[in-house]
Structure 1
Amino acid sequence: MHAFPQGNTWHIHPDPATLAQRLTVAIARSAREAIATRGGFHLVVAGGGTPQAAYALLPQWGGDWQCWHIYHGDERCLPPEDAERNSLMLEKTWLSKVPIPARQIHHIPAERGAEAAARDYATALPAHAFDLVLLGVGEDGHTASLFPGHDWGMEKGSPATIAILDAAKAPPQRVSLSGWRLRYTREMFFLAAGSGKRPALAAWLRGEALPAATVGTTADIWLDAAAWPGTPPAPV
């Protein structure tokens, strides 16, 4: 674990398997604390292969599933059965294996189109802060579906959800939580694995205004060694 002046804490693990195991333990710890303190755990999930490995382990580590509430940071505007949908990955990997009440699983209805889905999903979000937000880091520094060169909705008065019509990656239509709504959380974890993430993470450390860095000013960043841009610092 390594702290840097930006206010972030960087967790650097030797390989993706170790990263997934320790991330799973951290998610389960956050859930236990939230349920014990506030009676529920409101989690925003991320798509992608790095969190997927942790989701597959969660049935072994989690508990009190009736107290979990699941939300998405973003979704692609594709049919529900499309393999690229975050919701389908989540159902197959994790949610179908645990008894979280269906009314507490809030998938983005992105098949309806970005604008209608963003409008509807805003009403599904809680008025209070999330307990934990999970986010990825793209090779261009994007997070959720907040891409460089776009409005990320960082102002508190911005909508909680954003309809994306021209994403830099296919498909062009997506729905994303806005930057300020993602930051309205008690904890935030960023996840990145693989050497393809090194340039974006190096830019983050240099202080460049990437979407991920702008949203994650005080966050825990979970990496494998391949994603770290340089020789990992000595343990502290």
Structure 2
Amino acid sequence: MNKTVEVLPDQSALVARALELILSKLETAIEQRGRFTIALSGGSTPKPLYEAIGNQKLPWDKIHVFWGDERYVPPDHPDSNELMTRRAWLDRVDIPAANIHPVPTLEADPAQAAAKYEQHLKEFFNSSGAEFPVLDVILLGMGDDAHTASLFPHTEALKVRDRLVTVGNKNESLRITFTYPFINSARSVIFLVAGVNKRPALAQVFAPVADDFTYPSRLIQPQGELCWLLDAAAGSELQT
């Protein structure tokens, strides 16, 4: 694993650096493999990044968009990560509908929806057996409890190692989420973390010893690159 940590002066610098990284990885992926695959995170921090991507002139037909997690709400619900991304980026560009791969959230049973998304991923990446598909970039945030995607402290989702997608749970609010072994199969994982309230969790995530199930972001150790992008409020006191 190739790990880097960058502390940027503020959120706008954080967004600018994330955009630079993503565009670089997009160019390399299309050059080498003819397409670029990215899984997105929700939350307020990446929204300006999605707006910035939407302002670029890119080969949209070669870009495929997935989500690393989603609240179990309809796609037009105000809490939907998909809805936020469509408004900030996808509805503003000429990306083919077939290149957008939302999490299904209208099944009667969330476990069924997780299985359906996993099957879609396997078919898209033409993966079989035990090997996990490899996304070019997985974008992650981190909560002040050190959760990432919908992998919350001391929840059953953290124990799932043999699947790509599972059901996440936060205070009985159901989610669909990538599993941490699937996240770890990515070529590049980029964390975007902003705000002074993240400092205590970051200290534990970067500590030499701490409990992975209490601080789930510690479980993210990809086979490829791991890049932590932090604003100064979050990362200025961090010992890396």
Residue 216 of structure 2: aligned partner: 211
Residue 20 of structure 2: aligned partner: 25
CA distance in 2, matches of 1:80, 1:149: 28
Post-superposition offset of 1:11: 1.1
TM (norm. structure 1) is 0.88
CA distance in 2, matches of 1:181, 1:63: 27
What amino acid maps onto 2:233 in structure 1?
A
Residue 46 of structure 1: aligned partner: 41
Q: Is 1:140–2:145 an aligned residue pair?
A: yes
Task: Give the aligned CA root-mean-square deviation in angstroms.
Answer: 1.9
Residue 68 of structure 1: aligned partner: 63
Residue 224 of structure 1: aligned partner: 231
What amino acid maps onto 2:164 in structure 1?
A
Post-superposition offset of 1:48: 1.0
Post-superposition offset of 1:116: 2.0
Q: Once the two structures are superposed, what CA deviation does each residue of 1:73-130 show, in whole Å capped at 9, x if it has no partner?
A: 0000112211110000000000011122111111001232421210110112123310
Post-superposition offset of 1:60: 3.0
Residue 198 of structure 1: aligned partner: 199
Pick aligned residue for 2:29 from 31, 34, 47 = 34
Gaps of 5+ in 1: 1-5
Q: Is 1:167–2:170 an aligned residue pair?
A: yes
Q: Is 1:79–2:74 an aligned residue pair?
A: yes
CA distance in 1, matches of 2:22, 2:42: 15
CA distance in 2, matches of 1:172, 1:161: 17
CA distance in 1, matches of 2:12, 2:81: 21
Residue 3 of structure 1: aligned partner: none
Q: Are the aligned partners of 2:141 and 2:149 in contact in 1 as well (CA < 8 Å)?
A: yes
- Aligned to 1:78, the other structure's residue is in SS state coil
Pairs within 5 Å for 1:103-122: 103-112=98-107, 113-122=109-118
Which of structure 1's runs of 4+ aligned residues deviate more than 6 A?
A: none
TM (norm. structure 2) is 0.87
Post-superposition offset of 1:186: 0.7
CA distance in 2, matches of 1:44, 1:214: 18
Aligned residues: 223
Q: Once the two structures are superposed, what CA deviation does each residue of 1:166-215 show, in whole Å capped at 9, x if it has no partner?
A: 424xx611100111111111111011001111111011121322211111
Pairs within 5 Å for 1:88-103: 88-103=83-98
CA distance in 1, matches of 2:233, 2:94: 35
CA distance in 1, matches of 2:104, 2:32: 31
Q: Is 1:179–2:160 an aligned residue pair?
A: no
Q: Are the aligned partners of 1:74 and 1:177 in contact in 2 as well (CA < 8 Å)?
A: yes
Residues 101 and 153 of structure 1: CA distance in aligned 2, closer, same or farther (over 3 Å):
farther
- Aligned to 1:123, the other structure's residue is in SS state helix
Residues 205 and 77 of structure 1: CA distance in aligned 2, closer, same or farther (over 3 Å):
same
Pairs within 5 Å for 1:118-129: 118-125=114-121, 126=125, 127=127, 128-129=133-134
Residues 191 and 92 of structure 1: CA distance in aligned 2, closer, same or farther (over 3 Å):
same
Post-superposition offset of 1:69: 0.7
Identity of aligned residues (%): 32
Q: Are the aligned partners of 1:198 and 1:227 in contact in 2 as well (CA < 8 Å)?
A: yes
Q: Are the aligned partners of 1:201 and 1:229 in contact in 2 as well (CA < 8 Å)?
A: no
CA distance in 1, matches of 2:2, 2:21: 19
